[in-house]
Structure 1
Amino acid sequence: MFGGRALATLTRYRGGLGAAALAVAVVLLGLIEPTEYFALDQFFELRGARSPVAPIVIVSVDESSFVELNTQWPFPRAMHARLIDLIAAGRPRAIGIDLILDLPSARGERDDAALGEAVARAGNVVLAAAPADEQAGYTSLPFSYSRTTPNLPIDAVRKGAAGVGAINTPLDSDGRLRRMPRRQWTGVEWLPGFDVELHRVVTAAGLPAAPLPAVDPILINFSGPLRTFPWVSYFQVMNGTVEPTFFADKIVLVGPTSDQMHDVFATPFTRGRDQMPGVEIHANALQTYITGQPIREAPVWVSTVVAVAAALLAAALVVRLHPLRALAAVSLLWVIVTLFAYLVFVSGHAWMRGMAGTLGLVLGYGVTVVDHFVREQRERRRLAQFFSPEVLNEVVRHRREQSLSSSRRMVTVLFADIRGFTALSEKLAPEEVAEMLREYLTETTDVIFKHGGTVDKYIGDCVMALYNAPLQDPDHVLHAMQTALELQERTLKVSARWEQRLGTAIRSGIGINTGEAVVGTMGSRQRLEYTAIGDTINLGSRLEALTKEYGVAIVISEFTRRRLNADFLTRELGEVTVRGRTQPVKIYGVLPADLRKHPRAVIDVSATLTLSGAGESHPVATRDVSEGGMALAGVPEAWAVGTRVEVRCEGGQLPGPLAADAIVAWRRGDEAGITFVALDPESGPIVADYLSRRRSR
């Protein structure tokens, strides 16, 4: 029945699914990009120009400067030096020179030296570099390659600069410039962006500025069109029309603005021929860094999800409403989403890439209307041959029903978490906690899958696993127990790695219960998940919490123990009344895997147990030994489960001394079991030889 409903639902929504698939293809192939960029530019236009908030002024190398100074380009570098001296006299916060100075001056070394000395005197000059990829080798052959040349300013100029930054500006697919990279590869190292270096210099000079955003490249938050930032001509500074005091506490950017110098670009505000020179684009980028308000861009996967959701939503409206009402609803939804996207852009400086949603709505509505019309007519003609109108309506009603199914079945549930995770989290950095948790959960999930379990959910550091669901598993109790024992071994390995790195050990506690539970897909029609609920699940969770109280790693209920075979060693812990149950429940601890797996032999020798790292030692009595560990008596009460110890035994029938690092695995009064973590090289053969001569348990 469920399959029939699912098939019916898929049939009714196949138009929406097809539209969603088409929308995904359009988005992932980048066919929507020009439309998205156009919409972004419209948002900038609707928002309009905003007065700059950063104290940035542009010294323009323009046509009038060529005329007034009666000098051809490139200007003498001594002239640039004079310009820097005049600007620096006004005590600006920083001076950015958006000019390429990668070759020596044609006027000789003194020309370069004059500029270098002026840069050094100013002390806050950031120079420009333009790393470029060049084709090398035999370009006509398959083994040609490209290399990057730094194009840095020459040493004579660069040595006194406060910084050097890359000025390269990548274009979007539609040929407009909207982004600015934070750094660029020079072929040797990463060179910070021109604006990033200026941000560093002005911040050091005391200008309040936001930290650099993590995203790279940034989407520039343009203040407005051409000349939104104040311009003064190069010649006006040189002839004194603009006095040095004008530059006090400002950020001064010097660069070409003439169209003839081919350093102009189309931006979101460009209309017609009003392209923006690179130096003003850098002004916009620098202000974006200073204010900390780049345009945050939704990633492509978000656009894909939005397109799919919009297509399916439009399809759902068509399926449930009359086509005209659906059209009105889709149109209203488009208006609401567009207005919301614009408000988010203006107030939140975020670009939602809303055209993907528009595409999804259009395709979802159009494709579904056509498909719905064709399918409905064909379906009615077909069904009319077999059913009366009343029965036909009933069939249609059932096809529209959506139901959530679940069933009662026997399951074994396992809960596992990290002991003392909250306290552990307080000692470590968040990144270390996340890495540790990821490693632990990865190991846990791997073990669960290995033994046929299903990961129901993650709850912080806790994992809930089900056995005998959703697939039948007659040995679900056995597989849950195998999971628990192997998980303890895996946890010790994970702990050993973390102890080496941070001196922090981790241990896990596991609770297992068996009984009936309601299992299936649960939730709302908006969100479903496969899970199990019931008293069996609640008791399993409570048992996991009791592991710390009883000092054991694994606690199982009497309902689970009844279904175990003799391969598992358990000891009764007592009866507990768990919250939510009126009758007490017997609970049992499961001995560690090492003590279960290895053959044991009775041993009675002199032994000393030492607390690792503390030097505190106690004589203890030995009970038995295996290749995996020992059972001891007379162990101090304060040495709880999980305590790291060192054991040394000698005498008796041992052919030699036995020494090992170990961990307390279980306790009962003054008796304890220890699991070997590492045996001395000579101790392993000694234990093996002893066991071979004493085949007893």
Structure 2
Amino acid sequence: MAGNSLRINRKWIVRGLGFALVLMGCILRVSDPYPVEISRLIYFDFLQRLAPRTFDADLPVRVVDIDEASLSQLGQWPWPRSKVARLVEKLEGYGAASIAFDILFAEPDRYSPHRLAEDPIFAGYLRDAIDLNKLDNDQRFSNAITGRPVALGVAARPDLKTKQIVPRAGIIEIGDQPGLLLPRALSWTPLAVPLNETAVGIGGINVSPAGQISVVRTVPLLWQGPTGIIPGLGIEALRLAIAEQNIFVEGAENERGIVLSVSLGAFHIPTDEIGQVWMHYRPDNPGLYLSAADVLDEKDNEQLRSEIEGRIILVGTSAAGLVDIRETSLGQSVPGVSIHAQLIEQILENKVLQRSDTIAALELVAFIALGVIVVSVMSISGAVPSFIAGGVAASSVLALSWVAFTQNSVLFDATFPLIGGMVNFGILAGFLFFATEREKNTIRRSFSQYVAPEILERLEESGQDLQLGGENQEITVMFADIRGFTPLSETMPATDLVAMLNELFTALGQDILAHSGTIDKFIGDSVMAFWNAPVRVENHPLHCANAALAMRTSLRHFNTVRSEGHQVPIGIAIGCATGEACVGNIGSQNRFNYTAIGEVVNVASRIETACRHLAYDVVISETMALASRDQLALLQGGSVALKGVNKRELLFLVVGGRDTRQSEIFQRLQSHHSDLLAAMKGHRGAIWSTQAVERCRSIALEIEPGLAGFYDRISDRLGDFQVDAIE
């Protein structure tokens, strides 16, 4: 009952702890600290690396790259605006659908002749009558973009000291102020005069909000500025290409400031709640780029025409010195302009990654479900089944995440359910481990009262199962019984009697365990033990005999203490036998004991009873004597009829150990004892006499005083000495 109660309590503790961990995990996920966020983002990067987009050369997007070759041929950046104007004219001539500059034109062109005339050094060489306004490079660039689908880039700035930019696109908000929480620009870099008046398109070139300089995973479609909402450069270039005036921002009906999607013409673009698009990258491909030097070549190039005609053209730079390099989720460093290009590609392909609050809620549900599975299975079946069930559930979550990403372009985070589930499993498994270890130690302490420590260690190492059934093997069995227990019990209160038995059996039990024995049971005033089971013990008859000798010594010490308290001394009788028995777990399916059954058990029990007949405390069987005669001081005690045993059993007295056996006085006693037994067997009256018995008795008193009783009664047991002694 105690074991069942312990298991029930542990089950409920596991459940309570497990559900508490699930609740704590939910709170952690809702608060979304940096470690949780970064693990999610790294996982999304990993998904993209496993299944990136592929480059489609037919998509109408190209980048005119101010690359190292262009700088080498045409000079360092910035180029005169007249050259930039020529670039626009060439692109329009090749049939570009729209042109967007991922370049800032914030100050007047310092190469413009108009600006040179303002320098006093150059002014003296110029005639006053010359009008240089017609040679203004900014004006030439302005004339080139006037009326053409060209978008100029502006950058978000953290100050309010610049002139504000007027949006060119119409922004129509649907819902409860969805533009309220868009990425904010306190101000924009200005556009040089007269570009700020003639540009038909203006877009933000930033690919991430200010201060975010790590991996670019999301790109804002729209920016909230001081003069209104300005689109990002990519969506502005797309707007000009399809000749749309308005961009629609759809928000939630009852949630202020939440963006659900952005629409432009026929394109419907899902976004996160602040109007950003999750980028689904492809490896950077040279097919996206056209060298600015090639475009500016005065000769017409039909190959270039086929690459530019009808396409959205983004102008930017990959030159390292111009510092416009960003890192993508694929681990690649690419020009910032290519990110705008890939954004347009995704919109055109309708392959924009999606992630919403609903998906985040489903991730939380997956974490809860995984936690409930782990907790439930572990509380019922333990750690291993829980690990298997949790592994299956975790695999399902991973599979769901993969299918959602590859088939539906949905970002479903599997890291929090998996990591959270593993943490929960680890904590619960750790609790079970410590609880099991605690129970194991308790059981070990209890079991160590019956089994020698070295045997217990060997049992634990072998991992033997506790199952019903047994096996036949040779063992040595011991029965030890208190002499005169009934009269003793009548003179003592029950509580004192129990205390005395506990103290005595503690000492005797320690002697048995110290000599590799297994205590089978305590039966009232007696104890049963055996050797060579549950694990093999070499020379087990000798171990048993040595344990009996140690018990004799412990009893003497016990009686010495009792005599100091004027208490009656205690006597014990020990009977031992070696033979084959069935050893194993015997009982019912629900309750069983490890014990031994067989003839040898009955013989040992009867030998213990025969100790009274022989008037000696430690008596063993012939089989046991044969196995250990070289190590023990033994004397033949006669052939005794044992109750329940068909034939007489030749018994031997255990006088002492090896040292006693090798002593000269014991050898003299053994010689006289043999002569006495021979005379008793042959009925030789001349030899069989009181003097012969007394001679043996007097020598025995010097070796083991307990032998006195044996020799005092031997004359009454003439019939027991009719078998040959061991040579």
TM-score w.r.t. length of structure 2: 0.46
More helix by share: 2
Higher Rg of the two aligned structures: 2
